[in-house]
Structure 1
């Protein structure tokens, strides 16, 4: 390819890139009317909260935080976060009491929710509003709960985000939403709003961020304020259990500018870092609006499911139960722990888990696809080498008089026996009490002890009504 042709192609891609961004900006940038409406509601709520707070505690103050305060909110987002700061001399119990009183005074129709401590949530003129109490501290390193850190984030970014960078943040957020990697909840394990803002600031814009991400080589380390390693930071540990050289061992490390002991990207999974890299490369190569549009797959039909199963030749199994009454950030870690425990239990018994996942709505499902669903009635059990005294003799004596065991006999230099297998079918294991020997989430174990069902093969069509979209995503995966 000639240099002229390469330059022409590069110029065409740049033009396509800008055309796509212009289209997306029209969708994600709030217009003047939307901004004014949000500002009016936010100001009114802030004044109301401040009046109630200073009546209780003259030293209290109120500020708006989050994306709507930093001008990085996407058109159509309806979140207003009002933080009520109390002096650090106040004890935790009083802060919680005052916080709820201010919350109810600000949102008379609101209801109480609980994160690290209670707060009030409600709706005002179509906006979702949180009124959250916290301590007013000198430094984010002095925090007593995670919410105490939020005002420092807002103050830091307000000084660094101009209108152009804020616009690029909106593009980056929408891109991450489009590829399914946005959100720091423990279900998504993706990029938080604050992390996205820091990345755009660090690289100087949306395109610069994409170009950098396309070439990332994990571990990626960013330290916006050049904090460097601090002796007070808690080191990560490597696989051998020793202290690692770095204070964090996550694939993406972005040191919080307001707190050097915290990795802002800690919740971001390796999968989502890789997903961002993949789509950054794809978009830079062929820009298209579709990258900014979240996938909303149609539910998988029964005939499509049957076609997938017939083509793949695997055996699907599912453990289905009533979802525990937990918020998602409590539920999904327990689902992941249960998924890991159940799949390990299946693998340990020779059923060879091919791929597995978990879904949740009104019910919850641990779903596994097995390469092997049935095993022979006997299994091979190797003992120690014959020349190892004590252990070898103990193994031999344990099976020598077992009428149901084949052997012991010698293979190479060690004793071997073939003994009766405990479970010849995966479903038998899943329906047995031995399921409770694997690592399960505490609340999920309690639910399973009450009742659950096991679905095998074609029986998983029973999941389609509730989880048709999730099953399409599973059987028709994309990066």
Structure 2
């Protein structure tokens, strides 16, 4: 962030802090109580370190046997001391020299992974890696290239060692402790995680923000006064611009926005809860209780009270990882909403759920449209276009008109679909913008639920329906 930006943010915080902040000791009291929960105790640290050391030793032996110039390092929050008590993740990166071709790197990486974690299984990000469990810890063994600069990366995982190195230089014990507090807060309010289902704050982004603002409370004080778009540039690269609501230029790679995945909604959600916590500090902000499934009687009361028409398109979930599935679901949701709105059914609100099945769920303000719809033509004085419009309808026995309304031709023609169900059950559903795998799944079969039929969603999506019908920021 530039000096000018820093000065502006600090002055704004000072102006408001003097009016709205609770006594400092009330915030500190909550921080003290929560810190006992989020900070790993000595025995937990020692156990993680012992398991990590054993993994690093195994991985190093397997890697150097295949490539003498290879090395290994621990990455992620467990390497930086910013992991929360109860987190069970250890990331081991196996670095190979850049002269190695990618195909060989992938082959060596899998061999090293399986030798390090004999019971592990293969997963795929930009290239395959081995994932497994050792003594209660979730372990990733990830191959990457050992490069001189993050700007030379060949895949996203090549950046991670640079992130670890940078943050080790920035984080002291106090900032690491404040990072754990911040992660606990972000988890509690539901915005922690850079997966494409959550579209929130990654661990690396969280650590950068805490370093940028100097701690947990200064971060929240800055957040409550953010005016999007927010642009932070920790190393003053100053060369690249982005259109995202939150921009944090990667200190190790000026061409990358670390916060690119963050949705505008989650930035706003963080701002809402930052203000709420600073106004009234409470440990509940750090709690992550899952909603209870909505009961059938509760759903019935909501539907009666709202007097809308709920509709749902339900189909078997495509065989995709969540980071592939959710963007396709959102695209499909947007396409279906746009078409329903365009056909006059007035979508009040909509969302999508996924489990073993997927659901596009919408509430309609209008459930039945007339059998005819108005179609306005051009003004009569626009000679060629108006004549084409008139000629298109004048001999159609199913059309009322054409007639004049003011200076325009108007025709009232038969409406193609008078109910949302009729449209959703038709082949025209496949003409809207759908995710490719969603379209394939729909072609294999789907069901339409309207009105009280949506009660059938409760066994699988009761918690999601509670969140939908009892919304909070």
Do both proteins adopt the same fold according to a TM-score greater than 0.5, normalized to the shorter chain?
Answer: yes
Q: Give the match for residue 29 of structure 2.
A: 19
| CA deviations over 1:112-159 (Å, ceiling 9, x no partner) | 111100000110000000000001111111111100011100000000
- State whether structure 2 residue 53 is matched by structure 1 residue 53: no
Q: Which residue of structure 2 lines up, in the alignment, with residue 256 of structure 1?
A: 250
Per the alignment, residue 359 of structure 1 pairs with 353
Listed as ranges, the gaps of 5+ residues in structure 2 are 1-16
Cα distance between partner residues in 2 of 1:323 and 1:393: 50
Distance 1:10 1:277 in 2: 15
Q: In the alignment, is residue 416 of structure 1 matched against residue 410 of structure 2?
A: yes
Residues in 2 aligned to 1:161 and 1:308: alpha-carbon distance in whole angstroms: 49
Aligned to 1:118: 128
Assess if the C-alpha contact under 8 Å between 2:403 and 2:411 holds in 1. yes
Say which SS state the counterpart of residue 223 (structure 2) adopts: helix
Aligned Cα root-mean-square deviation (Å)? 1.3
* Cα 1:123/1:401, change in 2 over 3 Å: same
Aligned: 1:178 with 2:172? no
Q: Which residue of 2 aligns with 1:101?
A: 111
1:393-450 CA deviation, whole Å, 9 max, x = no partner?
Answer: 1111111111100111121222110000000011100111010010111111111001
Asked if 1:475 corresponds to 2:447, the answer is: no
Please state if 1:281 is matched with 2:275.
Answer: yes
SS in 1 for 2:170: coil
CA distance in 2, matches of 1:391, 1:156: 65
Counting matched residue pairs gives 457
- Output one character per residue of 1:319-338: Cα deviation in whole Å (capped at 9) or x when no partner: 00111111000000010011
Secondary structure of the residue that 1:159 maps to in structure 2? helix
Aligned to 2:368: 374
Alpha carbons 1:13, 1:287 under 8 Å: kept: no
**Structure 2 residue aligned with 1:217, among 227, 236, 240?**
227
> Which whole-Å CA distance do the structure 2 matches of 1:214 and 1:152 have between them?
30
* Rounded Cα–Cα distance in structure 2 between residues aligned with 1:8 and 1:334: 46
Partners of 1:203 and 1:103 in 2: CA distance: 38
**1:460 paired residue among 428, 451, 454:** 454
Q: Name the residue aligned to 2:39.
A: 29
Secondary structure of the structure 1 residue equivalent to 2:410: strand
Aligned mates of 2:118, 2:272 — CA distance in 1: 47
Distance 1:10 1:282 in 2: 11
Aligned equivalent of 1:339? 333
Aligned position for 1:89: 99
Contact 2:341 2:347 in 1 (8 A): yes
Change (3 A) 1:475 1:12: closer
Distance 1:99 1:44 in 2: 18
Structure 2 vs 1, CA of residues 9 and 15 (structure 1 numbering), >3 Å: closer, same or farther? farther
Q: Distance in 1 between matches of 2:61 and 2:219?
A: 42
Task: Please state how far the C-alpha of 1:215 moved relative to its aligned partner.
Answer: 0.1
- Extract structure 1 runs of 4+ deviating beyond 4 A: 7-12
Could you tell me which runs of 5 or more consecutive residues in structure 1 were left unpaired when the two chains were aligned: 1-6, 231-246
Query: Alpha-carbon deviations, 1:41-61, whole Å to 9, x = none?
Result: 101100110111111111111
Once the two structures are TM-superposed, the CA of residue 12 in structure 1 deviates from its matched residue by 5.9
Moved more, 381-390 or 81-90: 381-390
**Residues of 1 paired with 2:460 and 2:282: CA distance?**
32
Separation in structure 1 between the aligned mates of residue 386 and residue 129 of structure 2, nearest angstrom: 63
Give the Cα–Cα distance (whole angstroms) in 1 for the partners of residues 169 and 338 of structure 2.
Answer: 49
1:8 Cα offset (Å): 12
Structure 2 length-normalised TM? 0.95
Pick one of 142, 166, 181 that aligns with 2:176: 166
Contact 1:378 1:419 in 2 (8 A): yes
How many Å apart are 1:295 and its aligned residue? 3.4
Q: 2:425 aligns with which of 414, 431, 455?
A: 431
1:69 aligns with 2:79: yes
Alpha carbons 1:13, 1:286 under 8 Å: kept: no
Deviations 1:268-295 (A, max 9, x none): 0000000000000000000000000113
What displacement does 1:10 show? 7.8
Alpha-carbon distance, 1:82 to partner? 0.3
Question: Do the aligned partners of 2:73 and 2:93 also contact (CA within 8 Å) in 1?
Answer: yes
Give 2:384's aligned residue: 390
Q: Whole-Å Cα distance in 1 between the matches of residues 138 and 314 of structure 2?
A: 33
Give 1:42's aligned residue. 52
